[in-house]
Amino acid sequence: MINNNDIAEKARAAAFTPKQRQGIKSVAVIGNYLPRRCGIATFTTDLVEGLSAQAPDIDIWAAAMNDRPEGYLYPDKVRFEIGQGKLSDYGVASQFLNINQTDIVCVQHEFGLFGGPAGGHILKLLGDLHMPVVTTLHTVLKEPAPDYRDVLSRLSELSDKLVVMSHEASGLLKDIYAAPEDKIAFIHHGIADTPFIDPSFNKDKFDVEGRKVLLTFGLLSPNKGIENVLRALPAVIEKHPDVVYIVLGATHPHILNSHGEAYRIMLQQLAHKLQLGAHVVFQNRFVEQNELWEFLGIADIYVTPYLDEAQITSGTLAYAMGAGKAIISTPYWYAAEMLAEGRGRLVPFNDPDAMAAQIIDLLENDIARHAMRKKAYMFSRDAVWKEVSSQYLQLFKEVQRNRDTNPRPRHAYVANIKAITAFELPEIKLDHLKTLTDDTGILQHATHTIPDRDHGYCTDDNARALLAAVMGRKYLAPNGWDLDRLSGHYLGFLLYAFDGQSGRFRNFMSYSRRWLEDVGSEDAHGRALWCLGKAVSLLDNPGHLAMSATLFKKALHAVEGFDSPRAIAFSLVGLHAYLKKFSGDSDARRVCEALAERIFIQFQTNAEDDWPWLENALNYANGKLPHALLLSGRRLHREDMIDMGLASLKWLLAIQTEDRHFSPVGCNGWSPKGGPRARFDQQPIEASAMVEACVEAFHITRDHVWFDNAVMCFNWFLGHNDLNLPLYDPVTGGCRDGLMADGVNQNEGAESSLAWLLSLMTLQKLYADEILNPPAARKSVGYRKSVA
C-alpha cells in the first residue's frame, strides 16, 4: 500500500535531483480507460496502444479515472487509479508522477471526467507536476458558465500544449479563453486503419443481405437525435422498402443511472407508433472494436443526427469516415468541418423531412454515394492511429525541448493551492445515512449504529438530509450513491410535514407515521426553510427543484411572525441561497431584508463590549446567528451587518477555543451571561454551525485566519477536542452523538451524522473553489479586510 508521507518525501527529493535529458523515457496518459464504457475510455486506450506501438522504447502507461469506488479490472497499462470525486487522490497522483520522473503527462480532458465544480480537481494535480503537460481537449464550450471558463483557462495556463481535433476548437480557444495560438496544436481524432470494402460483403453475417443499411452507433443519450431518423423513415421506406436502420449501442452509464432506459423506451415506442417494424433494429449492447468495425462495414449510409451544434469532436463520426461510409449528419461543429468538400451531407437540426430527402437521394445515386465514400476514406488516412501517434510523439519532443530551454516559472497560485489543501479531508461515506433512511425518511436516533425506531422521524433531520443529498449530488456526483432517490424520500417527507392551512411544518412523527404535534417549533420550521432554500440553489433535477421552490415559498411567510432568533437565522441562510437562484423574487427579497434588519437590531440592542451577542445566554447552533448576519451584510451591502457578524463570530471562537482546539458550549446548562459555561455535553451541531460561519467569513474577507478556524472547528469531529476522542466513525461514515464528561456518546443519530456530513461537504466545496480560483482571479472582487 502506498504511504502518502513516503510519496511526499520522495517527490520532494525527486524535484531536486539533477536529471540528464536523454530523450523521452516515460509518458503517462490521464483519462478514462477500458473496460470503462465511454468514448474517452476507448480513445485513451487506443492512444496508449498506438503510442506504444510507434515508440516501443518509451514506457507509456495510463492513470485511469474511476467513477465508482471499486474501479474496474484494468489491463497492466494502467498503473495508477484516481477517484473522480476524491480531491486527495489528485495530489497523490501528482506525487506519484513526480516520483517516477515521468517525462510527459498527456491529459484527456472532458469536464465530466474529473471531480469538483466544472471538473476543477484536475487543476490540483497539474499544478503540482514538474514535467510538461499536453492536454487533449474533447470539449470546448462556446458559451461556458463562469466556472467552466475559469477551469479551461487555468487548464490552458498549466498545459504546455493544447491538442484540438477540429479547427473550430482552435478558434474558440483563442477567442473565448484567450489561449495563445502557439500553444494550440491540431491532431485528428485517431481511428483504426481499416480496408475500403463493399458494404454488401458481410451483410449475410448480420442477416441483412440484400437490404440497404442505415447505421447510428454510440452510447445512447437524449442529445443523439435518433428520433428524427425514425420520423424520416416512413418516407424512405415508401421509396426503398428494403431499408433497415440499425441503432447500435448501450445507454450511456451515467444516463442509465439518472434516467434509466427512458430514452430508449421512447425511441422504441416511437418506432412502434410509426409502424416501422422490422425496418428498425435496436442493438442494446456495448460492442468491442472488432465487432464495431464489422457493423460499420455493412452500412450503406451512416447517420449522426445530433440535436445541438456544440460538439467539437465525435469519435463515431471519425470512425465512420475512416471506414469509408457515406454520411448524413446534422451540422454540429465537428461534422460541418469534417464533412466539407463533398465528404458528407448536412441536414438542418430537427428536420426529419430533410433527413429523409437526403437518405433517398443517396440511396438512388450510387455514383454520388461511392464518390462521397472515397473522399471520406482518403481524407481520413491522416487520422489512422499510426499517424496520430507519431504526431503526438513529435509534440511531446517539442514540449520537452521547449521546457528544457525555457523553464516555466511556477504559477503563483500553486503555493496557495498547497496551503489550502495541506489538511487532507476524509473521504465522504454515506453508508450510515442510508442505514438510517427508509421509505418514509431518515430516522431521528440510533442505538450505537442501529436505527432506533421508537423515536420515529422529525422534519428538521429530513430537511438536513435533503441538503446533504443535494450537496453531494451537486458537488460530488458519485456513481452508485443514488442521491436523487434519497433526495426524493426526504423531499417527500417535508411535503407531507407541511400543513397548508397553518402554513407551518409539523416536526415529530412516530414510526407508525402518526404526527405527534399539530405545529412544530419555530426552529424546526426555520431549519426546513434553510435546507429547502439551499436545495433550490443547488438542484438540477427539475421535479425536485419545482417542489422545493414551491414548498419554500408556501412556508416562507410564517417566519415573519417568529420570535426565535435561531429560526430567523436559519430562514435567512435559506433565503440567501434561494435568492441566488431566483434573485428577482420581490417578495422573498422583502422578507429577507425585514428579517435581516430584525436580527441586526437584536444584536445592536443587546450587545455589549464583553458580550457582543443578541441574547443573555449562549445555547445551541450559535454559529448560525453570525452566519446569517454575514450573508445579509454581503447581499444588502451593509458593512455594519458584516462588522457585527465578524465581531460576534470572533468572540464565539475566543470563548470556545482551548489550547488551539474547539471546545463548544455544552448543553448541560449552556452559557448564561455572567455565569459559568457548561463544558459538556458538546454536540456536533455546534461544530457544524461554526464551520459554515467561518467559511462564509473567509469568503468575505479572504483572511486565512477564518479558513484555519473552520478547519479547527472541523477537527473537533476528528478528535482535536477536550477529550482527544474522535466522534467521526470511519467505518460507517456516521458521527457519534456528543462528547460527554466521561467519554463519547456512542449512538450515531441523524442530527450528529448530518452535522458531520454537511461540515465535510462544506470544506470539500471550499477546497475545490480555492483550486479553481487562484489569487489573481480574486483581485477585482473587492473582498474586505477581516477584523479577526
- Tens digits of per-residue pLDDT, 172-216? 999 999 999 999 999 999 999 999 988 888 888 888 888 999 999
Q: What is the mean pLDDT of residues 729-743?
A: 94
Tell me the β-bridge partners of 64: 31, 81
Task: State residue 423's pLDDT score.
Answer: 62
- CA-CA distance, 548 to 558, in Å (whole number)? 17
Alpha-helix runs per DSSP H in 607-720 = 624-636, 639-655, 684-701, 704-715
Q: Give the angle subtended at the CA of 253 by the CAs of 250 and 256, to the nearest 5°.
A: 85
Backbone angles phi, psi at 169, to 5 degrees: -65, -40
Range 769-788 burial, b when 16+ CB lie within 10 A, else e:
bbbbbbeeeeeeeeeeebeb
Query: Is 707 in contact with 420 (CB distance < 8 Å)?
Result: yes
The whole-number pLDDT of residue 628 equals 97
Whether 303 contacts 328, CB under 8 Å? yes
Predicted confidence (pLDDT) per residue in 755-769, tens digit: 999 999 999 888 877
Lowest mean pLDDT among 80-84, 116-120, 179-183: 116-120
For residue 480, what pLDDT band results from cuts at 50, 70 and 90?
very low
Grid cell for residue 407: 523553464
Give the confidence band of 19 by pLDDT, cuts at 50, 70, 90. Answer: very low
CA angle (649 as vertex; 646, 653 as ends), nearest 5: 135
Distance between CA atoms of residues 720 and 175, nearest Å: 50
Cα separation of the two ends of the chain = 42
Q: Dump pLDDT digits (tens) for 703-712.
A: 999 999 999 9
- Find, among 446, 597, 570, 450, the residue nearest to 505 by Cα: 570
The answer to whether 217 and 249 are in contact (CB under 8 A) is: yes
pLDDT bin (cut points 50, 70, 90) of residue 661 is very high
DSSP secondary structure letter of residue 345? E
628: left (phi over 0), alpha (psi -120 to 50) or beta: alpha
**% of the chain exceeding 90 in pLDDT:** 75
Torsion of CA 175, 180, 183, 187, to 10 degrees: 20
Q: 788 pLDDT band (50/70/90 cuts)? A: very low
pLDDT value at 16 more than 70: no
Task: Tell me whether the omega of the peptide bond preceding residue 35 falls within 30 degrees of 0, making it cis.
Answer: yes
- Residue 497 makes CB contacts below 8 A (sequence gap 6+) with 459, 462, 505, 506, 507, 509, 520, 528
User: Could you give the CA distance from residue 746 to residue 737 in angstroms, rounded to a whole number?
Assistant: 7
Helix (H, G, I), strand (E, B), or coil: what is residue 304? strand
CA–CA gap between residue 314 and residue 691 (Å, rounded): 45
- If you average pLDDT over residues 452-462, what whole number do you get? 96
More confident residue, 785 or 37: 37
Q: Is residue 301 scored above 80 in pLDDT?
A: yes
So what's the pLDDT on residue 205? Answer: 83
pLDDT value at 780 more than 50: no
- The pLDDT score that the predictor gives to residue 413 is 44
Q: What is the pLDDT of residue 133?
A: 96
Q: Which amino acid is at 473?
A: R
User: CA-to-CA distance for 90 and 107, rounded, in angstroms?
Assistant: 13
Provide the pLDDT for residue 481: 60
Average pLDDT estimate for 53-77: 94
In angstroms, the CA 302 to CA 318 distance is 11
Nearest to 700 by CA among 788, 595, 776: 788
CA 557 to mean position of chain CA atoms:
34
Q: Which pLDDT belongs to residue 22?
A: 64
Spatial distance between the Cα atoms of 14 and 521, rounded to a whole number of angstroms:
60
What is the band of 774 on the pLDDT scale with cuts at 50, 70, 90?
low
- The answer to whether the pTM exceeds 0.95 is no
Averaged pLDDT of the chain: 90
Quick one: pLDDT at residue 201?
Answer: 83
Which cell numbers in the block locate residue 113? 471526467
In the predicted structure, residue 559 carries a pLDDT above the cut 70: yes
Q: Are strands 243-248 and 657-658 parallel, antiparallel or unpaired?
A: unpaired
Grid coordinates representing 109?
480532458
Return d(Cα 624, Cα 638) in angstroms, integer: 18
Least confident among 80-89, 314-323, 358-367 = 80-89
Q: Which of 55-59, 61-65, 312-316, 349-353 has the lowest mean pLDDT?
A: 312-316
E strand or H helix at 611: none
Question: What is the bridge-based pairing of β-strands 26-31 and 104-109?
Answer: parallel
- 70, HSE (Cβ side, Cα atoms, 13 Å): 4
Cα–Cα distance list, 170 to 138, 179, 188, 379, 382 (Å)? 12, 9, 13, 20, 19
| pLDDT over 60 at 786, yes or no | no
- DSSP 8-class letter at 560: G
CA dihedral 380, 334, 114, 99 (to 10 degrees): 40
The CA-atom distances, in angstroms, between 96 and each of 8, 57, 130, 522 are: 9, 21, 11, 53
162 within 8 A of 172, measured Cβ to Cβ: no
Residues 6+ apart with CB under 8 A from 552: 529, 532, 533, 536, 574, 578
Residues 6+ apart with CB under 8 A from 455: 443, 444, 445, 511
